A and B are shown apart, each in its own frame.
Chain A
Amino acid sequence: MNTTTATTKTTTATSSVASSTKMKTFAVTFAVVGTLTYCLCLLMNWPVFTYHPAVNRIEWGWGPSRNGEGPAMYWYGWTATTLLVGAVVGFLATLLPESTAKKIPVILVWLLPILTIPFLIWDLRQWWLHP
């Protein structure tokens, strides 16, 4: 196999993945579910783990800051929850029949992040309204 043939085959394989219905379903579902899950994680405080940077300790789920152990970090856990849920639901969506998968509205990919902005401003109100 010469280099030209190999390059052409690789390009064709990449472009077929990029244009496949399953890729579209996964990408759109991941974006929609991911955005919603992240907001839910903030609202309900659902980190998959808590990181304690001062003592370099990871705790599963939500854990409070403890005396002498410095602050607790939840953002890593929220992001991990989001990526996990988004990936799992995105994968499950690819198993749906094509006719059903096509009904997932593409508009939500960009509309939800815009709608998220007022929610984030509200969620961070403790900082804006701090006396």
Chain B
Amino acid sequence: MDIISVPTFWTIWLLVHLLFSVGLLGALTHQAVSVTMPVRKMAGPGGFVVRFRAVPAAGYATAVCVLWVLTFIAGSYIYIKYRTYIRIPIEQAGHWKTQGFFDFKEHVASIGLVLLPAYWFFWKNAQEPEYDTARKMVTVILCIACWFLFIVGHVLNNTRGFV
């Protein structure tokens, strides 16, 4: 704590949380697009959208699980500071819906966490057609959840500047 100031320390952790979440968002979005709109046959190099969809989606599964857990841990750690130094001013300023969205975010993150073993199992057994629907649905749910968490986190980070 002598080397860097307290605000710098927490800003670094917030940035770590952000970087993990960006990686997670990219991986999940690629995977969700590839599983909902798979490229059946590549004739030629294809455009940006085709290449975006044509990723080896199964290869992302372990990385997504690891990134979700790392983002969750980093978020849980900075939540301590959020609860005492951010949430109280937000409540004092009467940003009730903003606060509601943060609570929504924490619930979605926890529910996403419990889906990870099943998500990983479905992707590790991608050759089994009986898991096709479940694999697709869980991937899309995690992708939507991740976008929601990212946007709410971003808006909340900005909100403190308004208070």
A-side interface residues toward B, CB under 8 Å?
Answer: 15, 18-19, 23-24, 26-28, 30-31, 34-35, 38, 42, 51, 53-54, 70-71, 73, 75-76, 78-79, 82-83, 86, 90, 106-107, 109-110, 113-114, 116, 120-121, 123-124, 126-128, 130
Contacts and interface: CB of A to CB of B under 8 A. Distances in A.
18 contacts: A19-B124, A30-B114, A31-B114, A34-B111, A38-B107, A38-B110, A38-B111, A53-B80, A54-B84, A70-B84, A71-B84, A86-B114, A109-B118, A109-B137, A121-B104, A127-B96, A128-B96, A128-B100
A113 B115 contact: yes
Contacts of A116: 111
Contact of B114 (A70, A83, A121): A83
B113 A110 contact: no
B19 interface: no
B97 A35 contact: no
A110 B103 contact: no
Interface in B51-73: none
A71 B118 contact: no
B105 to A, nearest CB: 10
B111 A113 contact: yes
A105 to B, nearest CB: 10
A30 B134 CA distance: 15
A23 B131 CA distance: 14
B111 A35 contact: yes
Contact of A127 (B100, B108, B141): B100
A15 B121 CA distance: 10
A26 B118 CA distance: 8
A109 B141 CA distance: 11
In the A-B complex, the 5 residue pairs with the closest CB atoms: A127-B100, A34-B114, A18-B124, A110-B137, A130-B96
Contact of B131 (A83, A86, A106, A113): A106
Nearest to B98: A127
